[in-house]
Amino acid sequence: MALRNILKEGDPTLEKASRNVEKFDERLHILLDDMRETLADAEGVGLAAPQVGVLRRVALVLDLAQETEEQDAPVVELINPVILETEGEITAYEGCLSIPGVLGKVSRPMRVRVQARDRTGVFFEMEGEGMTARALCHEIDHLDGQLYTRLCDQLYDKDNLPEESE
Ligand code: NI
């Protein structure tokens, strides 16, 4: 495994749409292993292949609902993910490893159901709620060349967020 460089906002690769994966081969597995290591190193909740310069529909998302005191949240590998269903809406701070140091307030579905394929090509479905739903939508947006900043009108310094007024 190897750490890959995370592209930053302004890199044109981040604005391009990714293509579906068709071969579930060793090359894909190396990409997934490298992305896992890169995500863990960056302590993020998700990472999409275009962020490491690969325009393929591959994303990782932490399944935070599975996190326990004994076990870290497992990383889910999503190949060619598609949102099947969404429910509700919640507005919260959101950030991106490609846009370090800032957060924006973004409205996302409260729950999503996603279909994807695993690294061997087998179809599966995943449901996410709250932060996991947000991460799923955010990473799938990356596969369409979209950054969250298009969904908010203001960015905040991550270490100096305004006080919330009720
Ligand atoms: Ni991102």
Q: What is the pLDDT along the chain (166 residues), one digit of tens a residue?
A: 899 999 999 999 999 999 999 999 999 999 999 999 999 999 999 999 999 999 999 999 999 988 999 999 999 999 999 999 999 999 999 999 999 999 999 999 999 999 999 999 999 999 999 999 999 999 999 999 999 999 998 999 999 888 875 5
In the prediction, which pLDDT does 1 show? 80
Q: Global pTM?
A: 0.95
* 70 CA → ligand 1 middle, Å: 28
Q: Cα separation of 38 and 17, whole Å?
A: 21
CB atoms within 10 A of CB 42: 14
* 38 CA → ligand 1 middle, Å: 13
* 23 CA → ligand 1 middle, Å: 25
* 118 CA → ligand 1 middle, Å: 21
In the prediction, which pLDDT does 162 show? 87
Which residues does the annotation mark as catalytic? Answer: 139
* Residue whose C-alpha is closest to residue 88's, from 110, 103, 66, 107: 110
Strands, sheet with 90-96, edge to edge from the N-terminal-most edge strand? 90-96, 99-108, 155-157
* 40 CA → ligand 1 middle, Å: 14
